[in-house]
Structure formats: structure tokens, C-alpha cells
């Protein structure tokens, strides 16, 4: 009997038991998601007792399909993508038993919405250059600095935070990784208005914020290693996950079918090329997610992120061209403070403008091409004269 033949009946029975004991029609959604976590069905590839069953990630589709058919409350991935896709895998990989016990379940119930305090005004593409300081004070760390381009900080309860704990070490070695409570004194969130008119991003100022050492993930000075795990998970989360004809290409294909008056010579061939590219990205992403069963994702996720950004920008541009004058319509320039990141929603003008950020967020395409060259293809790295110099001695 194959693994699939033995696992699928067991999962089906577990879902049936969950639905019997927690009727979706009468159970509070937060309570249901907690029961989902306790049953090991929230993310089946996580270890037993931590929301999973230690199974290959591909079996999550079976669970989700059964839950959707029962109209059960699903995980709020659009509202808490950073918590579910980035913070949770990092906590599993580097958290202590106590941290896993206290931090993971509230992510899956949506009690704790996360943001990511990584990038800074002088440390975007060169993330290891972060200047936000973390100074040890007994059982706490005092954090001071500024973060920028922080998606969803205005709605976040918690944050994953990368800070400099030792300026006397080279930049990659002097970093430490924390979980930060966004409601603590000294945390200030300010909106950054984007090209779309929204303020989905923020700048965050940290002034004498006290973070307990119990919320440090990994060892002191191990922050770069922990952050790399987060970034690899982020790139898999951003670069994959849409179903066939989902996302941007699905919107454009539907527009093509429903509006023959907009079709022009030569555009069909271009649409087919974009559709095939999107399908190749989807299948590659599925394969990459299945590899998560063997451990944390590696640098291969950088390739998915680059392809996703390129495809989104090409498809959204094609959409505008297909619609002609109608493609330039934009219904609302007032500043919104959205509670989720919407890559494909609203009108085509919004999608075209929003896609411009896809090649920046989650690692710029230029940096990711370097990652692919060096860590996937094994090419010679670029010379970096600053790798062995103490951070405090680097020119800024």
C-alpha cells in the first residue's frame, strides 16, 4: 500500500471527527481554528503537537478541500500571511519548546497578526546592514531604530524583528532575531502612501522598546541564519500558491473570453505565452511546496519569487493594453489602510500599479538573481570587501 493510500483515509477520518465535534455552523470561528490546530490539521507538514502531523505538505490540499466543502472557517492567509507563511515556520525551526507552545497557536487562530520588522532606510537590499540596535539589559533587550516598508504594521499584534546586538562584529555576525509585541510602549507606526493611493506599507519607529529575552529566536548573534529561514519561506509564500488560472492570469483570461471586441491581431499568441508561463510557475511552485516535507525551503524559492514578479508585471501590462482606454480607469485615489495585501483585486489600473512592487518586496529581483547564481547554480560570488569588517567601521 502506498503512502497516499494509507494517509488519505486517516486524514479524511480526522477531518470528519473535527467537523463532528466542532460544527462549523455553530462553533465560533476562532474556536474552530484552534481545534483545527489541536487536531494537527492546520498545517499538516508541521510536527505533531504544533498544528501538524509531520506529513508531506501536499496533503494539506485534501484537508482544505474537505473543510471548504463543509463551509468551515479557514485560516485567514490573506489577513495574516506573514504570521502563517513566515513567522510560524521560523518559530518551528528555531523556537524553544516554550516559544512553540505559546506563540504558534495564536497565529493559526488569528489572535496574533504579524508584521515583519526587517528592512530599514539604509538596509533594504543589503539586509545585513540593519542599524536598529538591541542592547541587553538583564532579562530584556532595549531596542531602538527605524524600520520601513512594513506591510500591515497598522493591523499587527506581533512582529518578527531583526536587530543589531553587537556592532563590533561583521554585519552578518552581529545580528539577533526577536519576536516583538507591536502594542508595547515605544512602538510607533506611520503610514507610507504608495503609488496605488493606499497605505498598505508603513514605517515603524522603535524607541526604547523592551523585548524579553524569552522572545529571542535562536542564539545571540544567530539572527542572520534565522532571518534567512524567514526569507526563504517568504519567497515560497509570495512566489507560489495560486491555482490553475488563478491570480492575475485568471482575471485576464476571463476578460479575454468575455470581451471579444477588445481582441486585436497578435494578442492571442501573447496571451497564450503568458498563460503557459503562469502555468509553468504554478507547477514549479507546487513541486517546491512538496519539497517542504524534507525540511525548510532553500534558496530555490528565490527563483519562484523572481518569476512571480516578472509574470505579474507582464500580465497586468497586457491587461491594460487589451482594454484600451478602459484599462486606464482607476476608481479611488483616496488613501486606504487595507487589512490585507491584495495583489489581484480591484480594477486593472490598480493591479498594474500594485504589480510594480512585486519586484521589490520580499527581496528585490536583482538581489534574488545573485542568490540564484551563487547558491543555486554555484557560480562565483561577487567580491564583498565588507564581509569581515566590524559593522561599526563600515562607511554609511
Active site residues per annotation: 234
Residue 219 DSSP one-character state: S
C-alpha cell of residue 146: 527605524
Do 79 and 339 form a contact (C-beta atoms < 8 A)?
yes
d(CA 88, CA 107): 7
Positive/negative CA dihedral, 34, 37, 43, 44: negative
Amino acid at each position: 500500500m502506498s503512502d497516499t493510500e494509507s494517509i488519505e483515509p486517516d486524514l479524511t477520518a480526522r477531518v470528519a471527527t473535527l467537523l463532528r465535534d466542532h460544527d462549523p455552523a455553530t462553533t465560533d470561528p476562532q474556536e474552530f481554528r484552534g481545534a483545527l490546530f489541536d487536531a494537527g490539521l492546520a498545517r499538516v507538514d508541521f510536527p505533531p503537537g504544533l498544528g501538524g502531523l509531520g506529513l508531506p505538505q501536499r496533503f494539506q490540499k485534501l484537508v482544505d478541500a474537505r473543510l471548504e466543502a463543509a463551509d468551515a472557517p479557514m485560516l485567514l492567509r490573506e489577513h495574516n500571511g506573514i504570521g502563517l507563511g513566515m513567522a510560524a515556520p521560523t518559530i518551528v525551526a528555531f523556537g524553544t519548546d516554550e516559544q512553540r507552545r505559546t506563540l504558534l497557536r495564536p497565529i493559526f487562530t488569528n489572535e496574533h497578526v504579524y508584521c515583519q520588522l526587517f528592512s530599514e532606510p539604509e538596509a533594504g537590499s543589503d539586509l545585513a546592514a540593519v542599524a536598529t540596535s538591541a542592547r541587553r539589559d538583564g532579562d530584556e533587550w532595549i531596542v531602538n531604530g527605524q524600520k520601513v516598508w512594513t506591510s500591515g504594521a497598522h493591523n499587527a499584534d506581533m512582529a518578527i524583528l531583526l536587530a543589531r546586538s553587537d556592532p563590533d562584529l561583521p554585519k552578518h555576525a552581529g545580528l539577533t532575531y526577536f519576536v516583538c509585541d507591536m502594542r508595547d510602549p515605544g512602538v510607533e507606526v506611520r503610514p507610507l502612501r504608495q503609488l496605488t493611493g493606499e497605505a498598505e506599507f508603513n514605517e515603524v519607529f522603535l524607541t526604547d522598546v523592551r523585548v524579553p529575552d524569552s522572545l529571542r529566536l535562536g542564539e545571540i548573534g544567530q539572527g542572520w541564519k534565522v532571518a534567512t529561514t524567514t526569507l526563504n519561506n517568504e519567497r515560497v509564500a509570495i512566489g507560489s500558491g495560486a491555482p490553475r488560472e488563478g491570480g492575475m492570469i485568471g482575471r485576464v483570461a476571463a476578460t479575454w473570453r468575455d470581451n471579444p471586441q477588445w481582441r486585436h491581431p497578435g494578442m492571442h499568441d501573447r496571451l497564450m505565452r503568458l498563460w503557459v508561463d503562469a502555468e509553468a510557475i504554478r507547477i514549479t511552485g507546487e513541486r517546491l511546496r512538496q519539497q517542504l516535507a524534507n525540511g525548510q525551503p532553500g534558496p530555490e524559492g528565490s527563483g519562484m519569487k523572481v518569476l512571480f514578479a516578472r509574470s505579474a508585471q507582464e500580465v497586468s501590462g497586457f491587461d491594460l493594453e487589451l482594454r484600451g482606454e478602459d484599462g486606464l480607469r482607476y476608481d479611488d485615489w483616496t488613501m486606504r489602510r487595507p487589512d490585507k495585501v491584495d495583489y489581484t483585486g480591484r480594477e486593472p489600473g490598480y493591479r498594474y500599479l500594485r504589480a510594480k512592487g512585486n519586484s521589490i518586496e520580499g527581496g528585490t529581483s536583482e538581489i534574488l538573481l545573485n542568490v540564484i547564481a551563487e547558491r543555486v547554480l554555484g557560480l562565483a560570488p561577487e567580491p564583498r570587501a565588507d564581509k569581515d569588517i566590524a559593522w561599526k567601521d563600515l562607511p554609511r
